[in-house]
Amino acid sequence: MQAQSPAEALPELYRAILDSIAELERLGERREAGRVREEASRIYSRSWDEPARRELDAILRRADRTATRRDTGRQRGLRRGTAAG
């Protein structure tokens, strides 16, 4: 199986980042969502090459980790009867 070229992979990766941004905003992480959006837009706007793919992939992983960490903390607070957020 041949790997996708960056030109094929970047739109899908960027869409996943936008979904992660929406999740961060839903969780109240608006500042981090803004940073992710700005950085991803800057990278997506330049050359569609392998370095850009790697950078967008790293941004997606970071955004997902932040969302997971925030959501896990929120769930813990809700189990204790408090609303974290």
- Domain extents for the chain? 6-79
- What pLDDT does residue 12 have? 97
Q: What is the distance between the alpha carbons of residues 60 and 50, in angstroms, rounded to a whole number?
A: 15
Q: What is the distance between the alpha carbons of residues 5 and 18, in angstroms, rounded to a whole number?
A: 20
The pTM of this model reads 0.79
Walking along the chain (85 residues) 10 residues at a time, the average pLDDT comes out as 84 98 96 98 96 97 93 63 52
- What pLDDT does residue 3 have? 81
Q: What is the distance between the alpha carbons of residues 35 and 23, in angstroms, rounded to a whole number?
A: 14
Residue 5 DSSP symbol: P
- What pLDDT does residue 85 have? 46
CB 76 within 8 A of CB 34: no
